[in-house]
Amino acid sequence: MLVIVAPGQGAQSPGFLTPWLENPTFAERLHWLSAVSGLDLHHYGTEADAETIRDTAVAQPLLVASSLLAALELFPHPADAFDRIGAVAGHSVGELAAAAGARAISGEQAMVLVRERGKAMALAAAARPTSMTAVLGGDRDEVLAKLAEHGLTAANDNGPGQIVAAGTVEQLERLADDPPAKARLVPLSVAGAFHTEHMAPAVEVLGRLARSVSTHDARTPVISNRDGQVVHDGREVLRRMVTQVSSPVRWDLCMETMMQLGVTGMLEMPPAGTLTGIARRAMRGVETFALKTPDQLDDARAFCDKHGSASSLDHNPTWRMLVSPAKGTFKATGSLREGDAIQPEHEIGSVASSRDETPVTAPYGGTVVEWLVEDGDLVSPGQPLIRLHPEGVNG
């Protein structure tokens, strides 16, 4: 099974788009996304220096655009992707590229959202001196306890021995004077405490914009940063991306879900290397491919052919499906039968795992066409549970 991942802020480096822009089609598409984002992405991807592209308002649109356009080079006929990609995920801002790749939102919508996301997060960061520090090594529980002691947030949990602390400059200074045992601290060159309460103003900005965004159910399972759950409903994908701006990134749980799904290959969009590097340490037995330059495209396609399998989701437009958000035991609520009608937000059951119990609700009303599981069945992330015929759809 193949998973495609998109990196987050910090992965960019000066000139990383230069070889890609030798392709006229790529260059024209980047020109279009530059118009949508209001930024000269050609300049920022080729000529701008490291300090310039560190700017949140620049880095985020640049990263999303690079992932989107590289995906179009990898799959010139986008529909082919759905016969190969088992799931998608993005780290932080990379979730916007993943959502667009899964067709939950359009590429243009992703670029508008990331444009405003970057600006809003930059403004929020400017309100008070905040930053982030990588905490490498140490005992996980001890690290988290030490961060809590100093009022810091574990803004990124990237797996064993890789936690990023975020908060005010003063809080991080106190951590530097009193670090967790056996841990190494590496201050990060970022503009603020992303994925913490300090980004709440940016969530408000994006929330207003999101109300006007039209969504579609994802054509490929989307693994959410918030808790590693698989999300199918387009509105839920969008809602999670909005609130994620001020919530920690649980990439460790995303990788756990990938392993539960049976992923055998992970391909990372450019500027690649960060997420595949983490996977090599945390996802033993999973083959990785870091797509960095266009001369790797043939090898990348061969990698996709090797690991690819069709998404488990049914794309027949007359059906809607509810899928399991996580691995666990399905518990049905009530006694819904085929032919029964349900209202929007009706709870059909829950999935209980060792970590928690997650309700499964229908975001839309409709008629039960077919149960695909039974009460008490063990289910995997993204597994279809029930097929519905939505209200107002003629089959």
Q: Which one is catalytic: 66, 67, 92, 224?
A: 92
Q: Residue 60: count other Cβ atoms within 10 Å of its Cβ.
A: 27
Alpha carbon 226 to chain centroid, angstroms: 9
Distance CA 310, CA 288 (A): 19
Active site residue 335: no
Q: List the structure tokens of 212.
A: 């006007």
Helix, strand or coil, per DSSP, at residue 241:
helix
Q: Which one is catalytic: 195, 198, 307, 346?
A: 195
H/E stretch holding 352 reads strand 346-352
The amino acid at residue 97 is A
Distance CA 181, CA 116 (A): 40
The amino acid at residue 320 is R
Euclidean distance between the first and final Cα of the chain, in Å?
A: 32
H/E stretch holding 322 reads strand 320-323
Distance CA 111, CA 103 (A): 14
Q: Could you tell me which residues come within 8 angstroms of residue 338 by beta carbon, excluding any fewer than 6 positions away? A: 368, 369, 370, 371
Distance CA 151, CA 335 (A): 47
Cβ 383 vs Cβ 373: under 8 Å: yes
Q: Could you tell me which residues come within 8 angstroms of residue 395 by beta carbon, excluding any fewer than 6 positions away? A: 318, 389
Active site residue 43: no
Cβ 87 vs Cβ 382: under 8 Å: yes
In degrees and rounded to multiples of 5, residue 289 shows phi and psi of -140, 120
The amino acid at residue 177 is D
Distance CA 45, CA 47 (A): 6
Please identify every residue annotated as catalytic: 92, 195
